[in-house]
């Protein structure tokens, strides 16, 4: 506690010993088992898949309000809108030389092929760089198959290294005259589940249809290409834009006792892709932050600062809810002390990173001492926060970044296989213990974590 005092972590209202006792009490409670798993189970059972802008996402908002009510919170829905997109028929068939069906799914926001599909020769490239290096004449009229594999890593860096084949591959191929793009799924599993995820059409390129093959199907197509120079694929994708649709964020506050205008925000996103039931992405995050709030509410008195939970809408299709939150709350963002999002699955937290002002880093080091016995190492400053925090970070809001073990995350990420049975409740409880500790400590101490470095 001495060190904390030296670092300027002055405790308002409570003595250091009191805070210490409170944090121990929260951790003891979490160790007995939290409601996180039951919350994810309820969401994934009662709502299931909840694609942004659909009626299912609206039911998820209603579910959240009801669940918050059960937990003793009056939550509010902050409405927003999203440009809707829904999946339709999707088929890929090798028509020559070895006719067979492949397992495929459209990338999010892809345009459709003509009804009945399009058929074209296939050109395989190994990366976006490889594609860039090809002559336009080689690409023109073809279906481009981007066959880059993803490394399994703990921190998600394997995803970061290749995800641009999904986001930028379609427009890169379109600029060179390709008819369509199929990518090897950005995933680490070896099952016949294609991984969807959003693409980004560039303004200077035609929008062409784009889809992901499952990893075994990408390997199958590669084997076929190794046997023949004359491989043709028929691709039929019939997704459609559904126009402007409702989305929204669900917000619940544990009102601060002495400085209610100062907000410590923890979030997760409520929408999911349409293929699975969104258990690890991001039901887990919803369970973790709601269970954390429930735990904090059970303390004898409310925290000094307000703890706010935000369940963001329409994250998967472009951080739509997050941007709306930043806009709606523009006037109070300077009072947002710290923000964190849980959106990396259901693995345990193994490191505490942050994005705070340099002078505030010792406070993060001190926070770390509160959770290191939960098997959390100290991470680094200046890291990227959860996706929905980016719009806040752009406005100068510092972030807390509890890093989850994502070794298995990309096995089921954005697939039909993202279901509740992937989750070990004990890992969610560890997340809640870490979040509850960190957020209670931050909400019961003074001081700012600003300013963020300008160059990030």
Stretch that binds a second copy, among 115-123, 261-269, 287-295, 418-426 (CB under 8 A): 418-426
Closest approach, Cβ 355 to a second copy, in A, equals 37
- At residue 251, the 3 state secondary structure works out as strand
Helix locations, 111-152, DSSP H: 128-133, 136-139
Kindly state the helix (H) or strand (E) to which residue 366 belongs, with its residue range.
helix 361-371
Q: How far is the CB of 423 from a second copy (least distance, A)?
A: 12
Of residues 78, 83, 219, 380, which one binds a second copy by CB under 8 A?
219
Quote the least distance from Cβ 277 to a second copy, whole Å: 7
Q: Which stretch binds a second copy (CB under 8 A): 97-105, 123-131, 140-148, 327-335?
A: 97-105
DSSP letter assigned to residue 221: H
216: contact with a second copy by CB under 8 A: yes
70 binds a second copy (CB under 8 A): no
Q: How far is the CB of 160 from a second copy (least distance, A)?
A: 25
Query: Closest distance between a second copy and the C-beta of residue 75, in Å?
Result: 20
Of 44-52, 120-128, 143-151, 253-261, the segment contacting a second copy by CB under 8 A is 44-52
Residue closer to a second copy by CB (options 214, 247) is 214
Instruction: Tell me the C-alpha to C-alpha distance, in Å, between residue 93 and each of 97, 110, 116, 237.
Output: 11, 18, 12, 12
Q: What angle do CA 94, 98, 103 make, to 5 degrees?
A: 40
Decide whether 221 or 360 has the Cβ nearer to a second copy.
221
In the bound state with a second copy, the residue whose beta carbon lies nearer, of 261 and 421, is: 421
Q: Which helix (H) or strand (E) holds 61?
A: helix 55-70
Q: What is the closest distance, in whole angstroms, from the C-beta atom of residue 186 to a second copy in the complex?
A: 18
Residue from 134, 164, 168, 192 touching a second copy (CB under 8 A): that is 192
Stretch that binds a second copy, among 43-51, 198-206, 356-364, 398-406 (CB under 8 A): 43-51
Contact 243, 131 (CB under 8 A): no
Secondary structure element (H or E) that encloses residue 418, with its range: none
- Work out whether 62 is an interface residue with a second copy (CB under 8 A): no
* Residue 92 engages a second copy in binding (rule: CB under 8 A): no
Cα gap 117→209, rounded to integer Å:
10
Q: Could you give the angle at which helices 55-70 and 284-297 cross, rounded to 10 degrees?
A: 20
Per CB under 8 A, 53 contacts a second copy: no
The residue within the footprint of a second copy, chosen from 49, 181, 263, 436 (CB under 8 A), is 49
- Per CB under 8 A, the list member of 15, 18, 45, 332 interacting with a second copy is 45
Assess 140 for contact with a second copy (CB under 8 A). Answer: no
For position 96 contacting a second copy by CB under 8 A, the verdict is: no
Q: Least Å distance between CB 71 and a second copy?
A: 19
Beta-carbon contacts of 64 under 8 Å, excluding residues fewer than 6 positions away, are: 43, 75, 250, 270, 286, 311
Two tokens, residue 239: 């997704």
Give the binding range for a second copy (CB under 8 A) out of 93-101, 203-211, 351-359, 365-373: 93-101
Ranges within 420-439 binding a second copy (CB under 8 A): 420-421
* Closest residue by Cα to residue 267 from 247, 246, 290: 290
Residue the block writes with tokens 């770390």: 368
What is the footprint of a second copy within residues 238-277 (CB under 8 A)?
A: 276-277
Distance of alpha carbon 267 from alpha carbon 340, whole angstroms: 6
Told to check if 46 binds a second copy by CB under 8 A, we report yes
Q: Which helix (H) or strand (E) holds 403?
A: strand 399-404
> Given candidates 190, 327, 375, 456, which one binds a second copy under the rule CB under 8 A?
190
Give the number of other CB atoms < 10 A from CB of residue 422: 19
Whose Cβ is closer to a second copy: residue 27's or residue 148's? 148
Q: State both tokens at 201.
A: 């059409």
Does residue number 47 form part of the binding site for a second copy (CB under 8 A)?
A: yes
Helix (H) or strand (E) holding 67: helix 55-70
* Residue 111 DSSP one-character state: P
The stretch among 112-120, 133-141, 186-194, 288-296 that binds a second copy (CB under 8 A) is 186-194
Burial class (CB in 10 A: 0-12, 13-18, 19+), 85: buried
The closest alpha carbon to 180, from 263, 228, 117, 126, belongs to 117
> Quick one: which segment of 128-136, 190-198, 354-362, 401-409 binds a second copy (CB under 8 A)?
190-198
Radius of gyration of the chain, Cα coordinates, nearest whole angstrom: 23
Q: How far is the CB of 427 from a second copy (least distance, A)?
A: 17
Q: In whole angstroms, give the CA distance from residue 96 to residue 253.
A: 59
Position 37 contacts a second copy (CB under 8 A): no
Cβ(410)–Cβ(157) below 8 Å: no
Applying CB under 8 A, which residues contact a second copy?
41, 45-49, 56, 98-101, 103, 190-193, 216, 219-220, 223-224, 227, 276-277, 416-417, 419-421
């Amino acid at each position: 506690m001495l060190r904390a005092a030296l670092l300027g972590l002055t405790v308002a209202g409570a003595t250091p010993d009191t805070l210490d006792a409170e944090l121990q009490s929260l951790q003891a409670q979490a160790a007995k088992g939290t409601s996180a798993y039951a919350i994810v189970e309820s969401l994934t059972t009662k709502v299931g898949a909840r694609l942004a802008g659909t009626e299912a996402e609206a039911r998820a908002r209603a579910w959240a309000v009801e669940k918050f009510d059960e937990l003793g919170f009056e939550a509010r829905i902050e409405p927003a809108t999203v440009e809707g997109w829904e999946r339709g028929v999707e088929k890929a068939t090798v028509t020559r030389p070895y006719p067979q069906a492949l397992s495929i799914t459209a990338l999010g926001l892809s345009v459709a092929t003509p009804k009945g599909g399009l058929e074209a020769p296939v050109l395989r490239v190994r990366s976006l760089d490889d594609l860039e290096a090809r002559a336009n004449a080689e690409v023109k009229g073809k279906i481009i198959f981007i066959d880059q594999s993803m490394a399994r890593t703990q921190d998600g860096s394997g995803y970061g290294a290749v995800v641009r084949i999904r986001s930028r591959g379609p427009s890169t191929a379109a600029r060179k005259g390709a008819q369509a793009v199929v990518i090897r799924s950005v995933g680490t599993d070896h099952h016949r589940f294609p991984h969807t995820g959003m693409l980004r059409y560039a303004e200077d390129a035609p929008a062409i249809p784009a889809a992901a093959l499952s990893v075994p199907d990408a390997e199958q197509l590669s084997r076929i290409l190794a046997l023949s120079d004359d491989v043709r694929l028929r691709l039929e994708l019939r997704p459609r834009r559904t126009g402007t649709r409702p989305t929204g964020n669900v917000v619940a506050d544990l009102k601060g006792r002495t400085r209610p205008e100062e907000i410590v925000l923890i979030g997760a996103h409520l929408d999911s892709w349409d293929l699975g039931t969104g258990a690890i992405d991001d039901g887990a995050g919803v369970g973790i932050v709601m269970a954390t709030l429930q735990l904090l509410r059970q303390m004898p008195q409310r925290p000094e600062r307000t703890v706010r939970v935000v369940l963001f809408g329409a994250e998967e299709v472009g951080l739509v809810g997050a941007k709306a939150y930043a806009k709606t709350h523009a006037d109070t963002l300077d009072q947002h002390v710290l923000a964190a999002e849980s959106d990396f699955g259901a693995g345990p937290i193994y490191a505490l990173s942050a994005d705070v002002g340099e002078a505030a880093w010792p406070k993060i080091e001190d926070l770390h001492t509160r959770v290191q016995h939960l098997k959390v190492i100290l991470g680094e400053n200046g890291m990227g926060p959860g996706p929905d925090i980016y719009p806040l970070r752009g406005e100068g809001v510092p972030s807390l970044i509890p890093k989850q073990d994502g070794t298995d995350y990309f096995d089921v990420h954005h697939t039909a296989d993202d279901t509740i049975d992937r989750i070990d409740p004990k890992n969610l409880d560890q997340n809640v213990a870490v979040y509850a500790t960190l957020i209670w400590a931050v909400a019961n101490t003074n001081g700012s974590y600003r300013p963020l470095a300008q160059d990030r």
